[in-house]
Amino acid sequence: MDIPILSRNDIPYVTTRQMIEVDWAMMEDYHIELLQMMENAGRNLADLARRRFLNGNPGGRRIVVFAGTGGNGGGAMACARRLHNWGADVRVCTTRPNEAFKGVPAHQLDILHRMKVPVATAPVILGSNDTELVVDGIVGYSLNGAPCGLAADLIHLANGQTAPVLSLDAPSGVDTTSGMPAIRAAATMTLALPKEGLRADGVADNVGELYLADISVPPELYKEPALRLKVGAIFTRDELLRLR
């Protein structure tokens, strides 16, 4: 099924501060919990991977998912679970050991272990050059400073692959307010509203094709005094939109 197109001029872009406000209001004002948002993100990311990169059929396809310890990594792990359930050969590589994961991301990681999805904390999980898709969930819009350690190593590793990279929310290493290029994604699926850094000078080649996914933000939330944004029911045709 084709993904509907939405003009970039028909939707507001938000700063990191504004997106933090959206997440806070979702949980505090509407009691929409982080796990619910993460599940929505993971489901839509898996669906985009299936529709855009896997010819509608993930069965037997070899996919590597890079996951950090934050919400971005949790969404990527939810995506990994769904792709596994759809028959894909999924391997997950985390940026830190199991004990470093807390809260909802730790819950997502625990599910993967219970499902016996291969998980490792080292880039060697890529193995040979048989990977068909890399899912980037290393760091998200709350990045503060340049990635370092294993997160930086995974970014370099992803860029060295011939397989396309699908990034969640923002390519890891890109500052979503000012723009700081890092991963070079074939496509990026951003959440709720596009982030300012995704249209900053010099990042177009890192973002690739830009998609927008529904995580069930009530349109009324955007009208609140802290945001004052005008956003309608933009996902009436599909939970995924292509921004052009």
**For 212-236, what is each residue's pLDDT tens digit?**
999 999 999 999 998 999 999 999 9
pLDDT at 142: 56
Phi, psi of 72 (to 5 degrees): -65, -45
Task: Provide the pLDDT for residue 141.
Answer: 62
The H helix count followed by the E strand count for the chain is 6, 9
Burial of 80 (0-12, 13-18, 19+ CB in 10 A): buried
Q: What is the pLDDT of residue 143?
A: 54
Residue 168 sits in a domain whose CATH number is 3.40.50.10260
Q: What's the structural domain count of the chain?
A: 1
Run of H or E residues at 165: strand 165-168
Helix or strand holding residue 44 (H, E):
helix 34-48
Phi, psi of 189 (to 5 degrees): -110, 105
pLDDT at residue number 145: 57
pLDDT single digits (tens) 143-171: 555 666 778 888 888 888 899 999 999 99
Query: Residue 188 in contact with residue 207, Cβ under 8 Å?
Result: yes
Residue 43, domain extent = 5-243
- In this prediction, residue 193 carries a pLDDT of 97
Q: Which sign, positive or negative, has the C-alpha torsion 147, 169, 200, 164?
A: positive
Q: What tokens does 185 get?
A: 């994604």
Residues of the chain with pLDDT under 50: 179, 181
